[in-house]
Structure 1
Amino acid sequence: MVDIHPLVAPWGRFGLRSFFIDAPEPAIVDTGVTESPEGMRAGLEAIGRRIEDVRWILLTHGHIDHVGGAHALWELTGRKAEVVIHRDDAPMLRSREAHVEEWRSGRGRWLTDPEGEAKEEALLRAAISGEMEPTLALEGGEVLDLGGGVRVAAHSIPGHTAGAIAYVVEGSRDVFVGDAVQAYGAASGFPGYEDADKYRASLEFLRDSVKPERLYLGHPYRRADGSPFPEVLDAADALEAIQGSIDNEARIRAAVLPYLANGLRDTDSPYSPFQSVADELGYTGDPTLEPAPFFTTVNAYVNAYVTQLGTTSGARS
């Protein structure tokens, strides 16, 4: 069995979890933000490895805390590493402005503070160490050869983002999913996904088809009681995290859809126009903090259901 080592990169209220796959052609899964790769260097040196020897940079999806350090890490490898991402999230690797546009069309759609918007956009741009083309853009279904018999299968698991990927080490069923399994949220206490139906379908695929023996999450996501899952989840913890994600999506869906059917109404609440949703779910977090996925997730249901329900009243665009 190949050795896998966590590489933790601090980022705001979240601790990003990157991972080192100690194969003949070593890989790092996810890269943190601009300054993260230098911290990874120290982590690798502590286990007798060198960042210059990394030959694969495997990105689970396109958000800044997962791809922001990719260019800097690629440079530290002497530009020798293959930089891998799903083609649907590749624009997030190519362009800082893609992150700004994604924010504006998602959670930023519901925030009305110009000063906060400018601060958020500056944060997004600064978190990206450099714009670049991926050396390999995946569709899902590919198998990557890391040498010495270590092979990693890539599975498309959209929902958190359009291009979310699970990387599965063949033979051991070590599975890296980034943020595609969120259970009951991390520091924010709320899960984040851009497409609720695809998020749920991908979770069911992970539960029923992939069946991880060990599961590696992108952040310290939490159980229903608020306690964090461990750094590496065994098969039982993995099943709990995946099923908890499915159950929590159903809970959120049940709160949001009836509200959308009754029409959106602005209020003075920071959760406007979704105060009733926050109340029903018992959510009391600050929806303006980054990262705060409340509006991202509610916006997913708006995008999917408002038009068909004919309840566009009150929606901001």
Structure 2
Amino acid sequence: MAEVKIHPIVSPWGRFGLYTFFIDAEQPAIVDTGITSSPAEGMAPALAALGRRIEDVRWILLTHGHIDHIGGAHALWEATGRRAQVVIHEADAHLLRSRQAHVDEYLGARGRYLKDPDGGAKVTAAAQAVISGEMEPTMLVRGGETLSLGGDITVSVHSIPGHTAGSVAYVVDGQNDVFVGDAVQVHGAANGFPGYEDPEAYRVSLQYLRDEIDPQHLYLGHPYRRADGVAYGVELDRTQAAEALRESLEIEGGVRGAAYRCLCGGLLETESAYSPFAPVADELGYRGDPTLEPSPFFTTLHGYRTQYIQKS
């Protein structure tokens, strides 16, 4: 089987840019879609440079439902003449169907701690601005499916919840190229803190990626950072992938210990920007801005708090 070529594509967005990936198969695929502007401003010119056309994309593979990954899905689907299959895990499909779902997610978790009276309105405005359209996915997955990209090229779908309930890995069979979106956080991205909604599921998914899949190449949704603050690229070789998975597990263990010590001591509301989880920030030496969206500090600590309550 000939090797399938993978091309990272960066689309303009603020200071950082957003990453998607082009799988150059007989039925071409795009993994993740950035935001509303990404298909026109990032994907179309990048594909043209490769001698390909955005109209020819036949698979839109979404790793999870966050706005910077599904925001461009409707626009990309329209650009293909609505011929592409739009694939997402059933647990995150509501985030593709509804902008309001993103607002509800904010209000139900991190928004509880940010104490911003305009927070809901800001998320509403962001969802309107960067999600190109609400839509029904054309294919729902649970994990375990195999997608044919034409010829003998197949992609297997693996459920890896944690970052979100519907996070998935797409694996190009035969060469073990693995796309994980934001499911491998290391030390996080710009905020310097790993973000995941379900800590136990996140840990199990990291172990599954390490022990069962063992990626030859690992494609990340953002340039996540090592302990020294240096960012990985978004395309990791096997050695780097193993390092990122090992470090992600070590970091989760450290956050878990600090979170449960804080929870066992009882939460205390203070004037700290990290309240009521200030002891966690102190123990870990975290000095990032916890209000900077998507506020992974509060998303993650809320996950530990929820699980602690369930076990109590």
Q: Given the two structures, how large is their TM-score scaled by the length of structure 1? A: 0.95
In structure 2, what is the equivalent of residue 106 of structure 1?
109
Higher mean C-alpha deviation, range 6-15 or range 22-31: 6-15
In structure 1, what is the equivalent of residue 20 of structure 2?
18
In structure 1, what is the equivalent of residue 144 of structure 2?
141
CA shift for structure 1 position 117: 3.6
Preserved contact between residue 61 and residue 89 of structure 1 (Cα < 8 Å):
yes
In structure 2, what is the equivalent of residue 156 of structure 1?
159
What is the CA RMSD across the aligned residues, in angstroms? Answer: 1.1
Preserved contact between residue 103 and residue 120 of structure 2 (Cα < 8 Å):
no
Within-5 A mapping of 1:79-228: 79-228=82-231
Deviations 1:191-219 (A, max 9, x none): 10000000000000000000000000000
Amino acid at match of 1:90: A
Preserved contact between residue 111 and residue 119 of structure 2 (Cα < 8 Å):
no
CA shift for structure 1 position 47: 1.3
CA shift for structure 1 position 303: 0.8
SS in 2 for 1:89: helix
CA shift for structure 1 position 11: 3.2
Preserved contact between residue 11 and residue 65 of structure 1 (Cα < 8 Å):
no
Tell me how far apart the structure 1 counterparts of residues 298 and 108 of structure 2 sit (CA, whole Å). Answer: 11
SS in 2 for 1:37: helix
In structure 2, what is the equivalent of residue 314 of structure 1?
none
Tell me how far apart the structure 1 counterparts of residues 148 and 120 of structure 2 sit (CA, whole Å). Answer: 42
Amino acid at match of 1:8: V
Percentage identity across paired residues of the two chains: 63
2:55 alignment partner, one of 52, 61, 73: 52
Higher mean C-alpha deviation, range 23-32 or range 227-236: 227-236
CA shift for structure 1 position 14: 4.1
2:291 alignment partner, one of 275, 288, 292: 288
Gaps spanning 5+ residues in structure 2: where? none
Tell me how far apart the structure 2 counterparts of residues 13 and 92 of structure 1 sit (CA, whole Å). Answer: 25
Within-5 A mapping of 1:227-242: 227-242=230-245
SS in 1 for 2:60: strand
Gaps spanning 5+ residues in structure 1: where? 310-317
1:36 and 2:38 matched = yes
Tell me how far apart the structure 1 counterparts of residues 119 and 87 of structure 2 sit (CA, whole Å). Answer: 33
Q: Given the two structures, how large is their TM-score scaled by the length of structure 2? A: 0.96
Change (3 A) 1:198 1:14: farther
Deviations 1:265-307 (A, max 9, x none): 1111111111111111111111111233110000100111035
CA shift for structure 1 position 12: 3.8
Higher mean C-alpha deviation, range 190-199 or range 9-18: 9-18
How many corresponding residue pairs? 309
Amino acid at match of 2:27: E
Preserved contact between residue 13 and residue 187 of structure 1 (Cα < 8 Å):
no
Amino acid at match of 1:34: T
CA shift for structure 1 position 163: 0.5
Tell me how far apart the structure 1 counterparts of residues 265 and 76 of structure 2 sit (CA, whole Å). Answer: 49
